[in-house]
Amino acid sequence: MRGRVSLRSAKPEDVQRIVEVLWSNLSDVSLFQQPLREVRRNLPEFVLAEDNRGSVLGCAQLHWYKRGTVEILAVTVHPNSQGQGVGKALMRRCIDSAMSRDARLVWLATAKPTYFARYGFEPISKWELSVEVLFHKLRLVFQQPASRWLPALAGRHTFMKLETGRYQRYAT
């Protein structure tokens, strides 16, 4: 990574900054946008990447469900900071956090499966996930701009799970 990047848990004063970094990637149709109220409600789940001036370079969210199922979502890097290892640092933090809490299943949905395969994620059928998880994802779909509903429902995203024995800590 160019420059010094630090990772930390989000604080209440970060809500607007998280929304801003998500919206900075509005053109990325694979990234689910989250309204301010949703970010505020789930704030403890977010991790931020900052530079040495305190500017937010990116964020990621780790959402826990029942029975040790955890989803990595909202992995995004501000367009001016992409290609500098920020996303990799965020992914490592999320995976390490899930592993340290003995997650039974770590999964994500993405339109960029080759990126996440670097970390040991493999495609799965969405039907392998619980009804609780699928309903949560459906709720997130309808929080998106209406133009994204049909593509999201029609299967633009690949559902993937982490084979914990295949996690590549130093993925490139």
Domain boundaries, the chain: 5-166
Give the Å distances, CA to CA, from 119 to 91, 115, 125, 164, 168.
8, 8, 19, 9, 5
Tell me yes or no: is domain 5-166 CATH 3.40.630.30. Answer: yes
Q: How confident is the model at residue 140, as a pLDDT?
A: 76
Give the Å distances, CA to CA, from 17 to 24, 101, 134, 166.
10, 27, 28, 33
Q: What is the pLDDT of residues 84-126, one digit of tens each?
A: 999 999 999 999 999 998 888 999 999 899 999 999 999 999 8
Per-residue pLDDT of the chain (172 residues; tens, 9 = 90+): 456 889 999 999 999 999 999 989 877 777 777 888 999 999 999 999 999 999 999 999 999 998 889 999 999 999 999 999 999 999 999 999 999 988 889 999 998 999 999 999 999 998 888 888 888 877 777 676 666 656 666 667 888 999 665 555 544 4
Q: How confident is the model at residue 49, as a pLDDT?
A: 97
């495609």: which residue's tokens? Answer: 123
Q: How confident is the model at residue 150, as a pLDDT?
A: 61
Q: How confident is the model at residue 33, as a pLDDT?
A: 79
Q: How confident is the model at residue 133, as a pLDDT?
A: 83
Q: CA-CA distance, 116 to 110, in Å (whole number)?
A: 8
Q: How confident is the model at residue 116, as a pLDDT?
A: 93
Q: How confident is the model at residue 61, as a pLDDT?
A: 96
Q: How confident is the model at residue 170, as a pLDDT?
A: 44
Q: How confident is the model at residue 172, as a pLDDT?
A: 46
Please give the mean pLDDT across all residues of the chain: 86
Task: Give CA angle at 100 (95, 103), nearest 5°.
Answer: 70
